[in-house]
């Protein structure tokens, strides 16, 4: 089905949105991305097209939770039990994928269910995996995230932050790894997210339709060309798509080598303090995003340019603002902070 999805590399403009998504693919611990914008601005198209450029990863063959064999401490109870018995876990390479959460999903559908009757009869835990099990090691996409019940959003954000899904029913508990990149899209006209939930998303982007005539013409031409011959159009973009996937793979491998000196950390802290950002989540996220940006560029040292590239993505949704006031990121203020250090 991937060939029927509009290619990521062919999307016109929307550089901030693409940047936020790519940074999260390089370092999933950034905390996901929230993409806000009016309808028809390619939000859903862009997120779904990521399935073409997501990198490959190693998983335990046959594990429903797609455990990482190189990290036994993060394995599901089933894989851990097999290891404790001395069994060798076979592995295989799979491509990361985009897992979509239906808007109507219930808590049981998201978290999974424990068969209490089976436990009472046999003494063995029987767990029916949910969306969070499928999402482990993948990208979890929630369209219209602002319309989800708050307790479902809390559940998603908690699992994304802790990397574990914990279920308890009638005194019986079960947990499994659930490490994923959470991406939410929304139209602010249909309602906002609570500020507490906004802060939990690592990066945030406000997308708008292009006003430039040439760019709008290019959008129309590319979309018509794709709709006319999806397979042919996708094939033309294949080399560029493969190159993008390789770039992400290389960046993920180089990320541990990327260093940020005290000067960079001081610059980040100065910026968050100047913009009156509460807590320390923004500082940590900006450092991670700057490192990921450097890795994407093939560098192993963070510079102020990396901070410039990610600052608005990290801070725009965390800035204090009065009701009905739009959050506008002040790039001049950012530049003053960077120049003062």
From 207, 280, 272, 205, select the one nearest 33 (Cα to Cα).
205
CB atoms closer than 10 angstroms to residue 203: 29
Q: How far is it, in rounded angstroms, from Cα 135 to Cα 141?
A: 9
Q: Strand, coil or helix: what is 217?
A: helix
Residue 81: strand pairing partners: none
Q: Which of 109, 281, 299, 308 is catalytic?
A: 281
Q: How far is it, in rounded angstroms, from Cα 185 to Cα 207?
A: 10
Is 281 a residue of the active site? yes
Q: How far is it, in rounded angstroms, from Cα 255 to Cα 268?
A: 19
From 103, 99, 160, 154, select the one nearest 130 (Cα to Cα).
99
**Residue pair 216/12 in contact by the 8 Å Cβ criterion:** no
Q: How far is it, in rounded angstroms, from Cα 167 to Cα 72?
A: 21
Would you name the residues annotated as active-site residues? 281
């Amino acid at each position: 089905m991937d060939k029927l999805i509009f290619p990521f590399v062919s999307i016109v403009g929307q550089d901030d949105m693409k940047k936020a998504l790519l940074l999260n693919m390089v370092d999933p611990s950034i905390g996901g991305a929230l993409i806000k914008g009016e309808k028809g601005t390619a939000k859903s198209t862009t997120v779904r097209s990521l399935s073409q450029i997501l990198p490959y990863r190693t998983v335990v063959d046959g594990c429903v939770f797609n455990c990482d064999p190189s990290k036994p401490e993060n394995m599901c109870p089933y894989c851990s039990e097999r290891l404790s018995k001395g069994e060798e876990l076979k592995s295989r390479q799979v491509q990361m994928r985009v897992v979509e959460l239906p808007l109507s999903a219930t808590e049981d559908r998201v978290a999974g269910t424990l068969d209490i009757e089976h436990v009472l009869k046999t003494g063995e835990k029987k767990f029916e995996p949910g969306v969070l099990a499928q999402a482990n090691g993948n990208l979890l996409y929630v369209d219209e995230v602002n319309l989800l019940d708050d307790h479902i959003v809390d559940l998603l954000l908690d699992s994304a932050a802790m990397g574990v899904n914990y279920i308890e029913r009638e005194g019986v508990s079960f947990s499994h790894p659930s490490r994923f990149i959470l991406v939410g899209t929304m139209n602010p006209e249909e309602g906002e997210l609570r500020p507490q939930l906004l802060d939990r998303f690592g990066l945030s982007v406000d997308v708008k339709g292009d006003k430039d005539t040439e760019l709008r013409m290019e959008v129309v031409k590319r979309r018509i060309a794709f709709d006319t011959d999806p397979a042919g159009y996708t094939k033309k973009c294949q080399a560029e798509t493969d190159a993008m996937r390789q770039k992400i793979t290389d960046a993920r491998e180089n990320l541990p080598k990327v260093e940020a000196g005290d000067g960079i950390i001081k610059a980040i802290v100065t910026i968050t303090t100047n913009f009156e950002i509460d807590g320390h989540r923004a500082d940590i996220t900006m450092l991670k995003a700057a490192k990921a940006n450097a890795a994407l560029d093939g560098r192993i040292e963070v510079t102020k340019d990396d901070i410039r590239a990610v600052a608005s993505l990290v801070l725009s949704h965390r800035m204090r603002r009065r009701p009905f006031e739009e959050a506008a990121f002040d790039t001049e203020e950012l530049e003053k902070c960077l120049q003062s250090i």
